[in-house]
Amino acid sequence: MSASQEGYLSIGQVLRPQGLLGQVKIRPDTDDPGRFSALSHLYLKQNKDEYAKVAVSNVKIRAGFVYLNLGEDQTVEDAEKRRDAMLYVPREESVPLAAFENFIVDLVGCIMIDTNGQEIGTVTDVLQPGANDVYVVKTANGTLLVPALKHVVTEVDVSQKRMIAQADRLMEVSIFAD
């Protein structure tokens, strides 16, 4: 899923150049692609721990994708150099979360425990197929797909990297992917 360093959150990935004037097409990693319209800058990862600030202009949103110019890019050749680049925002510039919301990157790595105290496994990904998210949990018996429903996963504590799942409901609604 989305890559993150301690202080940065992935907000999208450049897919390819768009048009002849240096624009790029972006696959957003956010629930609200309109968020890009309010941004004056983003960050590009330079190396392991360094991010470079780059200006954002000419933002347009169509069919769930974002089209924009990065920095001083004005040609297809400039835009081509951005292909596959990941775009980030500092955590302090991220959108505020509502109660019971978490960033996906913070859920990955959480240990899922059932209400009987048994460790189920570790969350390795979060799928977003439609009606509700699905936690991908690596267990000793394979990959378990757990719907992210409040009556199934009753507690999420990202600061402790822990989730509590209702033991009886967990096995009713979860399936093994393998």
pLDDT value for 44:
93
The 10s digit of each residue's pLDDT in 1-39 is 344 446 899 999 999 999 999 999 999 988 889 889 999
* CATH class of residue range 4-92: mainly beta
Instruction: Kindly report the average pLDDT of the chain as a whole number.
Output: 90
CATH for 104-176 is 2.30.30.240
pTM (global) more than 0.85? no
Identify the pLDDT of residue 6. Answer: 65
Q: Does position 110 have pLDDT exceeding 70, yes or no? A: yes
Residues of the chain above pLDDT 90, percent: 71
Residue type, 112: M
Band of pLDDT at residue 50, cut at 50, 70 and 90: confident
pLDDT at 3 (0 to 100): 44
Q: Region 139-150: what's the mean pLDDT?
A: 93
pLDDT at 96: 83
pLDDT at 58 over 90: yes
Q: Residue ranges of the domains in the chain?
A: 4-92, 104-176
